[in-house]
Amino acid sequence: MSDPTPALADPAVDGAAPAAEPAPEAAVTEILARVQAPEGQGRAIRDAATGDVVGRAPEHTVDDLDAAIARAKAAQPAWDALGHEERSRLLLEAADRIDAAAEALARLLSREQGKPLNGPNARFEVGACSAWLRTAATTVLEPQVVVDDGEVHAELVYRAVGVVGAIGPWNWPMMIAVWQIAPALRMGNTVVVKPSEYTPLSVLALLDVLNQVLPADVLIGISGDREVGARLSSHPDIDKVMFTGSTATGRKIIESSAGNLARLTLELGGNDAGIVLPDADPQAIAEGLFWGAFINTGQTCAALKRLYVHDSIYEDVVSALGALAQQIPMGRGLDEQNVLGPLQNRQQFDIVSRLVEDAKARGGRVVAGGEPAPELGELFYRATIIADVEDGIALVDEEQFGPALPIIRYSDVDDAVASANRLDVGLGASVWSSDREQAREVAARIQAGTVWINSHGGVHPMIPFGGVKGSGYGLEFGVEGLKAVSVPQVING
């Protein structure tokens, strides 16, 4: 997986990737020593799989945040003045540093977040960080001539916004941080990053590697609580907020940013639907369906979370997915053979447990899983396939964000499309068929920011990505992603 971009475009990864040579544990210890709180201070961060203490996160305050924003604001004009070519050079050098530290970063990530090293997981995520950084560094955003009629010449250009506040999630903490950081830095902004309280150490470690190359105060990490996050989105010197997380928190950010009129990019919760048309081959699509739902043990905003299957092939699809769910290895992330890990935190474990128990009580048929796996650890939940459920139950209508996939039977494709569109979310969706043109016709009727054909959840650094409805607004990646962290300016004359 030396080049993660093709794998990211198709998360149906075959089992465990060849293991890289393990970095000495001393490399992880060295990074932690630079980023964690001094001995006896900070908040303990525990291994999601074992409960062991990974390290101690700094507990920055609102005052610390205010000081960081002031430093970032002071550093921004000089960073912007370097120009695109020099900023790109530094970002490419930073990507090289990520590659050099990749194994240590992946091992820290695996311990803190819980995801295994192999498969579409920790090594995959760290590889994606350098891939996205390189793409942002080399993507060209040309001025656009909007009028040139002999009398008027008008160009649309894009300038730096200023200081960007980046608030990240715990599910893909490093990769999503780079999604926010890379285009913002490329366009001449400085960035203040507030990682999730659940996974601060891996993000701070990533920033430490990047800051080996970047000028001082161009990129600053602040590890704090929700009060710090609220202050970041409302601070008068924050010009842009980028947030990935829940819809509920996204609404709070919209409210808190009203005072400073900060520009927003919000990638919020999803409850992605997949529709399997009657001409699909159950065996051919089973692995793609499985990884569309269970990548990162289901803890992905754009994962497949409710699957509608035509009655004529329903049992075949259910059976194929059940067989996969029972055979995919789950366990501690540092064990090389595993490709599914624990839920990252107790709150999410309880949500998955509640939704599955409710589905069982309402007549859902457990095809695989359906219960915790306490022999593996406190936060492990077996990969679960539940059939014979309907719209309206909690497991279908609520975002489970974990390893449990409900499968719903349908007989009319119009009903399946209506079901896919009935919820107030629209991050992603997918259509599965042997007839690509037919699939595209159905896809065009689905209300989602991205609709995949015969895959689900794959992202690419040059393909714009964003949601509709309650899944947020704004685009990331590629040229559109650069525009999103800029302010447009018209040069007329």
For residues 294, 295, 300, 305, the Cα torsion angle rounded to the nearest 10 degrees is -30
DSSP annotation of 296 reads G
pTM above 0.75, yes or no: yes
How much is the pLDDT for 24? 60
36-93 confidence digits (pLDDT tens): 999 889 999 999 999 999 999 999 999 999 999 999 999 999 999 999 999 999 999 9
How much is the pLDDT for 460? 97
Residue 267 bears catalytic tag = yes
Q: What is the mean pLDDT of residues 380-402?
A: 98
Q: What is the mean pLDDT of residues 448-473?
A: 97
Query: Could you tell me the end-to-end alpha-carbon distance of the chain, in angstroms, rounded to an integer?
Result: 50
Mean pLDDT of the chain: 94
348 within 8 A of 401, measured Cβ to Cβ = yes
Q: What is the mean pLDDT of residues 417-442?
A: 98
Residue 301 bears catalytic tag = yes
177-225 confidence digits (pLDDT tens): 999 999 999 999 999 999 999 999 999 999 999 999 999 999 999 999 9
User: How sure is the predictor about 327, in pLDDT bands with cuts at 50, 70 and 90?
Assistant: very high
Q: Pick the catalytic residue from 125, 197, 301, 476.
A: 301
Does 5 score more than 50 pLDDT?
A: no
In 76-216, beta strands by DSSP E: 144-148, 153-160, 163-167, 190-194
Domains and CATH numbers, the chain: 4-268+471-492 (3.40.605.10), 272-459 (3.40.309.10)
C-alpha dihedral sign at 298, 302, 306, 309: negative
Q: Pick the catalytic residue from 267, 336, 399, 480.
A: 267
How much is the pLDDT for 25? 80
Does 10 score more than 70 pLDDT?
A: no
Q: What is the mean pLDDT of residues 352-357?
A: 98
Distances from the Cα of 190 to the Cα of 8, 64, 115, 211, angstroms: 27, 17, 30, 12
141-189 confidence digits (pLDDT tens): 999 999 999 999 999 999 999 999 999 999 999 999 999 999 999 999 9
